[in-house]
Structure 1
Amino acid sequence: MQTSYEFIHEHKWEIVITFIIGAFIIFLISFAVGLDDIIDVLSHSNLQIICLALILELFLILAWTLRWSLILDVVDHSPGFKDLFLMMFTSLFGNNITPGAAGGEPLRAYLVSKFENIPFDLAFVSASADRVFEFFPFLLVSLFAIYLIFTWNISTVSAVALSILILVTMTFFGILIYVGINKDIAQKIIIRIARSVYPFFSRISKKEVTFAYVKEKLTYYIERFTTGFLTVLQDHKIFALGLGISFGMWGIDVVRMYLCFVAVGSYPPFVPMVIIYSIALLVTILPTLPGALGLREGVMVGLFLVVGVPADVVLAASLIDRVVSYLMPTAVGALTTVYYGNLLKKKDSSST
């Protein structure tokens, strides 16, 4: 099995290129808005408020770790909180360097299985169920957003396009949850996919593996996954706690973004800001550039103009938020990824 560390090393240039593309998109948006204006806004930003936003981001990651810990206790056992906290940063690093934030959950599941003797399928259940809890507050806000954007002074085409984007994303999450708790449907979908790609992988693989063997393994892991996933969702205490933590995390996230505006001396209307920020977060889910670099900024600039917030202020606040919620976790996560990579090498060398 190729580890995430090997994947990052093998695809390092593709990752670097996508970051360069994202940075270039942000530069183009900044150039169109006015670099001098943005720099002027940033030069007058309040460092104390930025530090407060950074503290809120750390609280958010702590809450995220707590939610994951509670879920792990249901499916198997929860390791020490400090270890999970470090693994969470590694997971955030994986999410932030992969399109659509798709790399973090397999990475932390892999780490937990390697260092805490939790079966990988159950570890992946915990990571997947953890992400599912984010669906509920986001669903509530998104449904309200669909209503609100039709009251704004934007074209009907733009309002319909945004509404379709929200509905498609919500439907996608709903299907994932449904598949996660329905063993029969999950088996049909995954085995059908496996059957279609098996001929290709059987030709390039050095090992002779029959499809019957692959199907048997997939059936076993799917059953384990759906059972564990359903166990988490049916545990009423954990479900209530997870839901409460998720709404708390969403609140912290929104307040942190608002503080980024306050840091540059702007006080946008709070409810529209919540809606616009939620819509912008949809872009980060799409399988585009890592972290949707540049794309999120473009959406925020366009929508905040509707509620009277200047583009240079929006971009300055967004750049501060990027430093707080993207660059900081990515930098710390890179360090924890190297740390766990070295531990894995020592572990593998000692076992041989």
Structure 2
Amino acid sequence: MTGGDRQEPDVATDSADILDRRSVAKAVVGFVIAAVLLYFLGNVVGWNDIVDALARADLRWVAVACLCTCGYLLAWTKTWQVVLDAGGITIPYRELVPTYLAATFANYTTPFGQAGGEPFIAYVLSADTEASYEESLASVSTADLMHLLPFFTFAGIGLAALAITGTIPPGASSILIGLAAIAIGVPAIVYGAWRRRDLVERIITTLARPVTTRTDRVSMERIETRIDTFYSQIARIAAEPRDLLVGIVYSYLGWICFAAPLYFAALALSLPVDPLLVAFLAPASSLAGFVPTPGGLGGVSTAMVALVVALTPVGAGAAAALAILYRATSYVFALLVCGPAALYVTARA
């Protein structure tokens, strides 16, 4: 493995911090909130209808959906590897897989993890490899931005199909506004942060200055050095367009596998859900992942039910069964796959 001089992140000093009591408490609270959301969803829709629909599910399609979940985990691990390699950090794929799975587990079990888990994921990566924290954060941030391309591509294709068929419901306006806000806001923020590096550095140092006056563990010089390292790593990655193109290909492949469990869950329940509709439903419902529950648990299912009922002739009970089965074969199954990797990486670190 190669990388810059090793700089230990300030966020923790040993692997035990990954599963400290505060993080576990937050996760427990998040899962409790998710359970309450799912409970009320079932009460509104009717648990009997949901259970009856799930009992008739074809387990063969359920198994295929679970395999697709493995597919997106492996594909997005490859995206990570390509981006890291572009930044001069060489890590064998088989060694990176458990690290990515562990980081995904942390992201999926942390409230708001989908909205801002990059610093924590960067710590997991830096603790398990020879990359510095800044190099890891730059690589993770770049990979996340690459994942936005297929996100908007598939959402756009699905939205175009809905527009052509005239099946866009009036209630979908808030979702369309959310997609548009992300499509415009994220690139604008990224471009601004890149072009106005001096402004970003002033903001960070201003916020950090009160901390540096109260402790000797953090210094302004060290913070400025880390900012420089982060921007230098981003520039180094951006200078390898061929690697970035390969990474984008794997990112698209991962998104196909990420959405596929929804399609196969519909097949398992014998529900009429078109693949083009799946292309819209998967990214649109993932906007609910910003609710304060681990992995958007509860929020994504509720959004999925509302969208399926509005866009298809499927009833509320069957739509809820579809949402639950989709999340079981994607989110829950991913936790079962990533959990052992998280324990392995923690012990190895």
- TM above 0.5, one fold? yes
**Distance between the aligned counterparts of 2:228 and 2:241, measured in 1?**
22
- The corresponding residue for 1:91 is 103
- The corresponding residue for 2:29 is 17
**1:102 Cα shift?**
4.8
**Distance between the aligned counterparts of 1:334 and 1:289, measured in 2?**
18
Q: Deviations over 1:230-256 (max 9, x none)?
A: 332342211221121122222222222
Does the CA-based 8 Å contact 2:265-2:326 persist in structure 1? yes
- Write out aligned runs for 1:59-78 (5 A): 59-78=71-90
- Write out aligned runs for 1:224-243 (5 A): 224-243=229-248
- The corresponding residue for 1:154 is 169
Q: Deviations over 1:119-173 (max 9, x none)?
A: 2211221111111111111122344566566643633xx3432222112222332
Where 2:77 maps in the other structure, the secondary structure is helix
**Distance between the aligned counterparts of 1:168 and 1:107, measured in 2?**
25
Does the CA-based 8 Å contact 1:142-1:278 persist in structure 2? yes
- The corresponding residue for 2:281 is 276
Query: Which amino acid in structure 2 is aligned with residue 186 of structure 1?
Result: R
Give the TM-score normalised by the residue count of structure 2: 0.86
- The corresponding residue for 2:4 is none
More displaced 10-residue stretch of structure 1: 306-315 or 108-117 = 108-117
- The corresponding residue for 1:347 is none
- The corresponding residue for 1:335 is 340
**Distance between the aligned counterparts of 1:136 and 1:279, measured in 2?**
14
Where 2:20 maps in the other structure, the secondary structure is helix
Does the CA-based 8 Å contact 1:45-1:263 persist in structure 2? yes
Number of equivalenced pairs: 333
Structure 2: give runs of 5+ residues left out of the alignment: 1-9
Where 1:133 maps in the other structure, the secondary structure is helix
**1:193 Cα shift?**
4.0
**1:29 Cα shift?**
0.6
Query: Which amino acid in structure 1 is aligned with residue 225 of structure 2?
Result: Y
Query: Which amino acid in structure 2 is aligned with residue 191 of structure 1?
Result: R
Query: Which amino acid in structure 1 is aligned with residue 87 of structure 2?
Result: V
- The corresponding residue for 1:305 is 309
More displaced 10-residue stretch of structure 1: 188-197 or 43-52 = 188-197
Does the CA-based 8 Å contact 1:181-1:230 persist in structure 2? no
Inter-CA distance 51–146: structure 2 relative to 1 (3 Å threshold): closer
Give the TM-score normalised by the residue count of structure 1: 0.85
Does the CA-based 8 Å contact 1:49-1:259 persist in structure 2? yes
**Distance between the aligned counterparts of 1:76 and 1:332, measured in 2?**
29
Q: Deviations over 1:163-195 (max 9, x none)?
A: 22112222332134324543xx23413432441
Structure 1: give runs of 5+ residues left out of the alignment: 345-352
Inter-CA distance 8–261: structure 2 relative to 1 (3 Å threshold): same
More displaced 10-residue stretch of structure 1: 76-85 or 105-114 = 105-114
Does the CA-based 8 Å contact 2:77-2:97 persist in structure 1? yes
- The corresponding residue for 1:42 is 54
**Distance between the aligned counterparts of 2:296 and 2:217, measured in 1?**
40
Does the CA-based 8 Å contact 2:305-2:323 persist in structure 1? no
Query: Which amino acid in structure 1 is aligned with residue 57 of structure 2?
Result: S
Q: How well do the aligned residues superpose, as a CA RMSD in angstroms? A: 2.5
Does the CA-based 8 Å contact 2:107-2:121 persist in structure 1? no
2:196 paired with 1:192: no
- The corresponding residue for 1:350 is none
Inter-CA distance 208–217: structure 2 relative to 1 (3 Å threshold): closer
**Distance between the aligned counterparts of 1:314 and 1:5, measured in 2?**
41
Q: Deviations over 1:219-274 (max 9, x none)?
A: 32223222322332342211221121122222222222100111112131222232
Does the CA-based 8 Å contact 1:87-1:108 persist in structure 2? no
More displaced 10-residue stretch of structure 1: 135-144 or 291-300 = 135-144
Inter-CA distance 13–114: structure 2 relative to 1 (3 Å threshold): closer
**Distance between the aligned counterparts of 1:202 and 1:228, measured in 2?**
25
Where 1:2 maps in the other structure, the secondary structure is coil
